[in-house]
C-alpha cells in the first residue's frame, strides 16, 4: 500500500531528537513520499537539509506562511525568490495563503504576499499549497483573480462545508487536503466528504500539528496518516488500499509535472 503525505513539517525542531526514527516509521506504514511545505526564510535551511538527507523520499516546497508575514515581508519574499532561482528542485510554492484567525494587523500584506507567490507559481509552472483560516472569501477571490488553467494545487486542511468545497473545486486542477481533523469527534467532515469526489482529495498530516485520534493532544507525525486514511475509507465505504491508491494518484497529478 502506497500512501503520500502531501503536507509534512517533519523538518521542524519538534523532531530534532527522533527525525530519523520518524522517517523509518513512515516507511513502515507504507508512506512512499513526503512533501514538505516551507514556513519562512529561517526554516528553509532546515527543510533543505532534510531533503538532502532523503533526496528520493522528501520533496521541498518554497513559500512564506501567512502567519509569518509582517512589516518585513517584502525582504523575506525577496530572499525566498532568490532561492527559487537557484534550482533547488522545488516541487511547489507553499505554504502560502491567508490567516486572519490570530491577527489581522498585516491583512493587506498577507494578501499582497499571497498574490506575489501565486505569480511565482504561474511563472515557474509549479503547484501551490494554500493555507486559509478565517479568510475563505478573500482566498477564493485572490485565487479567482489570478487563476489560469495551468495553475493547480491543494487547499490545505479543508474543514469547510459542502458549499465551500464546491466553490474551491470550481478551480480545475485543485484538490482538498484532508488531515487528522476528520477524526475529531466534532468534525463536520464525515458529513461533508461523501458529497466530494474522492478523486479531488489528497491526504496530509500537517505534522507536528492536527494530530488524529487516537493520539490527539500529542505531537503529530507523518506516520499517523494511517488514522486519517482509515477514517476516510470508512466515510467513503471503501477499502483502505483503494483510498490510498486514489489519493496517492491525485497527489502525483499535482506534483509529478514539476518533477519531470
What pLDDT score does 51 carry?
Answer: 96
Nearest to residue 222, comparing CAs of 51, 2, 49, 35? Answer: 35
Q: What is the CATH number of domain 3-249?
A: 3.20.20.140
Per-residue pLDDT tens digits for 192-224: 999 999 999 999 999 999 999 999 999 999 999
Per-residue pLDDT tens digits for 44-87: 999 999 999 999 999 999 999 999 999 999 999 999 999 987 76
Per-residue pLDDT tens digits for 4-54: 999 999 999 999 999 999 999 999 999 999 999 999 999 999 999 999 999
- Range in 31-40, 80-89, 151-160, 232-241 the model is least confident about: 80-89
What pLDDT score does 257 carry?
Answer: 56
Q: What are 240's three cell numbers?
A: 483502505
- 3-class SS of residue 201: strand
The vertex-231 CA angle with 227 and 235, nearest 5°, equals 170
pLDDT class for 256, splitting at 50, 70, 90? Answer: confident
Taking residue 172's Cβ as centre, other Cβ atoms within 10 Å add up to 10
Nearest to residue 171, comparing CAs of 186, 157, 154? Answer: 154
Q: Is-contact 63 117, C-beta < 8 A?
A: yes
* Residue boundaries of the structural domains of the chain: 3-249
Residues 6+ apart with CB under 8 A from 24: none
What pLDDT score does 259 carry?
Answer: 42
> Taking all residues of the chain, what is their mean pLDDT, rounded to a whole number?
96
Sign of CA dihedral 9, 15, 20, 26: negative
CA–CA separation, 170 and 165 (whole Å): 9
Q: Is-contact 131 156, C-beta < 8 A?
A: yes
pTM given for the model? 0.96
End-to-end CA distance of the chain: 24
Amino acid at each position: 500500500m502506497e500512501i503520500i503525505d502531501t503536507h509534512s513539517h517533519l523538518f521542524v525542531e519538534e523532531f530534532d531528537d527522533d527525525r530519523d526514527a520518524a522517517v523509518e516509521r513512515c516507511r513502515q506504514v507504507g508512506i512512499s513520499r513526503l512533501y514538505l511545505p516551507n514556513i519562512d526564510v529561517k526554516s528553509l535551511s532546515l527543510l533543505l537539509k532534510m531533503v538532502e538527507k532523503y533526496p528520493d523520499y522528501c520533496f521541498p516546497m518554497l513559500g512564506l506562511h501567512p502567519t509569518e508575514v509582517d512589516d518585513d515581508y517584502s525582504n523575506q519574499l525577496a530572499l525566498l525568490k532568490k532561492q527559487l532561482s537557484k534550482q533547488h528542485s522545488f516541487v511547489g510554492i507553499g505554504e502560502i495563503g491567508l490567516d486572519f484567525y490570530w491577527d489581522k494587523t498585516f491583512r493587506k500584506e498577507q494578501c499582497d504576499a499571497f498574490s506575489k507567490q501565486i505569480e511565482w507559481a504561474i511563472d515557474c509552472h509549479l503547484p501551490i499549497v494554500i493555507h486559509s483560516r478565517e479568510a475563505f472569501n478573500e482566498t477564493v477571490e485572490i485565487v479567482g483573480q489570478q487563476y489560469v488553467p495551468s495553475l493547480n494545487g491543494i487547499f490545505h486542511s479543508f474543514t469547510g462545508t459542502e458549499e465551500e468545497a464546491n466553490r474551491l473545486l470550481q478551480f480545475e486542477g485543485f484538490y482538498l487536503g484532508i488531515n487528522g481533523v476528520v477524526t475529531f469527534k466534532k468534525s463536520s467532515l464525515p458529513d461533508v466528504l461523501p458529497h466530494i469526489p474522492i478523486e479531488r482529495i489528497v491526504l496530509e498530516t500537517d505534522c507536528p500539528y492536527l494530530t488524529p485520534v487516537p493520539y490527539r493532544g500529542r505531537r503529530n507525525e507523518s506516520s499517523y496518516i494511517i488514522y486519517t486514511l482509515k477514517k476516510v475509507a470508512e466515510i467513503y465505504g471503501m477499502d483502505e488500499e483503494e483510498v490510498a491508491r486514489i489519493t496517492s494518484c491525485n497527489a502525483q497529478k499535482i506534483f509529478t509535472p514539476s518533477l519531470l
